[in-house]
């Protein structure tokens, strides 16, 4: 992950699937009698990142940190306020719905809520065949075969295909969502907290399923979660978001063994430890996430940071590469 310092760099390296540059999403706040804009919620504020082919980038952050918004912008379910999105070599930022359609074949999303993400009026086979119907020229018979094949791949029975979503449990529905997302052989899949709504035991199964499918189909994942331990298993690299910004991004092992940003350190210290022989210091963050409509000046994290100093109030830290792909946005590490 390098921070681009000039706008002219639009050429994308061979092994990069997705590149995002200075992406912003400001939701206007309407107020007053005439509904004029009185402010903005800065859901995503200047995020740049790249995702390499075949890797899994995990994104963690509290609720409201803008991680889902970021994911939805990347596959153009939300319009970015500013910034650029590249898929392979193509700028997809401003494509119309119609022009976007061929790209949608290559990018899919699995949502968080397995009860809201499937159309309850469609049967399982209709749900899985719908993307094939829209995106491919397969005949009805071929679609049916493919759907059966997928059902089997995600661990459901063939006779489940005529059932409706309400007849399944959360974990099973999530498998249906995964089958639907994989139906058109996408290159890139966003998991928008795909296991957050599931029981821990089911979480493991779904995560393993996603990992297996990644190996089988050579998928690239953007895996969004609010839980560092979930992301740990599936990711190659992890980005930590706070208040719409990426504060630290690094290869998985670096993040977990050598967190640089105070926020990452606090998050890691809050993960329950199973190994009791290892003493860990708990860093408890005080206060709540500040309002994204009125973020603190300078470093957004300074209001809760135990190590904040004067400079943090005045100057916004940039996400800079410290060493070997480990980038952090914190003044404490500027002189290293």
Partner 1 sequence: MQQLNAQETPSVEPIRPPEGQEPSKNKASKSPFQLAFARFRKNKLAIVGIVILVSIVLISVFADLLATHDPTKSNLLLIENGPSSEHILGTDGSGRDNFSRLLYGSRISLIVGFSAMIFTLMIGTTLGSIAGYYGGKIDSFIMRLTDLMQALPFFVLALTIISIVPEITIALFVTIIALTSWPNLTRIIRGTFLSLREQEFMLGAKAIGASDFRIIFKHFIPNAIGPITVNATLMMAQMIIFESGLSFVGMGIPQPTPTWGNMLSQAQNIRILRNHPEAWIPAGLGIFLTVLAINFIGDGLRDAFDPKSNRR
Catalog residues that contact partner 1 under the rule CB under 8 A.
56, 72, 75, 77, 97, 100-101, 104-105, 107-109, 111-113, 116-123, 130-131, 134-135, 154-157, 159-160, 162-164, 166-169, 171-172, 175, 177, 180, 184, 200-205, 207-209, 211-212, 214-215, 229, 233-234, 236, 274
Nearer to partner 1, 272 or 287 (CB): 272
Nearer to partner 1, 151 or 308 (CB): 151
Smallest gap from Cβ 300 to partner 1, in A, equals 27
Q: Distance between CA atoms of 201 and 292, rounded to whole angstroms? A: 34
Nearer to partner 1, 193 or 332 (CB): 193
Smallest gap from Cβ 164 to partner 1, in A, equals 6
Residue 292 and residue 244 in contact, taking contact as beta carbons nearer than 8 Å = yes
Nearer to partner 1, 9 or 162 (CB): 162
Nearer to partner 1, 201 or 335 (CB): 201
Angle in degrees, CA 208, 213, 218, rounded to 5: 130
Smallest gap from Cβ 262 to partner 1, in A, equals 25
Smallest gap from Cβ 149 to partner 1, in A, equals 15
Smallest gap from Cβ 233 to partner 1, in A, equals 5
Nearer to partner 1, 74 or 240 (CB): 74
Smallest gap from Cβ 239 to partner 1, in A, equals 17
Smallest gap from Cβ 32 to partner 1, in A, equals 17
Smallest gap from Cβ 209 to partner 1, in A, equals 6
Nearer to partner 1, 168 or 301 (CB): 168
Nearer to partner 1, 58 or 295 (CB): 58
The two beta strands, 82-87 and 16-31, are: antiparallel
Nearest-CA neighbor of 253 among 223, 232, 279, 282?
232
CA torsion sign, 213 to 214 to 216 to 218?
positive
């Amino acid at each position: 992950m390098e921070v681009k310092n000039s706008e002219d760099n639009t050429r994308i390296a061979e092994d990069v699937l997705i590149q995002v540059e200075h992406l912003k999403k400001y939701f206007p706040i309407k107020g007053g009698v005439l509904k004029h804009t009185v402010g903005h919620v800065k859901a995503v504020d200047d995020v740049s990142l790249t995702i390499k082919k075949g890797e899994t980038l995990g994104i963690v952050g509290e609720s409201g940190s803008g991680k889902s918004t970021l994911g939805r912008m990347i596959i153009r379910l939300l319009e970015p306020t500013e910034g650029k999105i590249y898929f392979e070599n193509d700028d997809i930022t401003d494509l119309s719905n119609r022009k976007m359609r061929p790209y949608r074949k290559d990018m899919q999303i699995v949502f968080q809520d397995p009860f809201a993400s499937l159309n309850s009026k469609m049967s399982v086979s209709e749900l899985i065949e719908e993307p094939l119907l829209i995106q491919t020229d397969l005949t009805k018979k071929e679609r049916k075969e493919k759907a059966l094949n997928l059902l089997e791949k995600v661990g459901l029975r063939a006779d489940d295909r005529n059932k409706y979503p309400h007849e399944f449990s959360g974990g099973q529905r999530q498998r249906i969502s995964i089958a639907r997302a994989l139906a058109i052989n996408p290159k890139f899949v966003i998991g928008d907290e795909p296991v957050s709504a599931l029981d821990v035991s089911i979480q493991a199964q779904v995560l393993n399923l996603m990992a297996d499918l990644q190996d089988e189909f050579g998928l690239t994942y953007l895996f969004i979660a609010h839980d560092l331990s979930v992301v740990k298993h599936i990711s190659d690299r992890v980005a930590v978001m706070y208040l719409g910004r990426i504060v630290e991004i690094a290869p998985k092992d670096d993040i977990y063994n050598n967190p640089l940003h105070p926020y990452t350190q606090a998050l890691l210290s809050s993960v329950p430890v199973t190994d009791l022989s290892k003493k860990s210091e708990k860093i408890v963050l005080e206060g709540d996430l500040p309002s994204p409509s009125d973020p603190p000046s300078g470093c957004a994290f300074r209001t809760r940071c135990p190590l904040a100093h004067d400079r943090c109030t005045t100057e916004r830290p940039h996400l800079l590469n410290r060493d070997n792909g480990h980038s952090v946005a914190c003044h404490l590490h500027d002189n290293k």
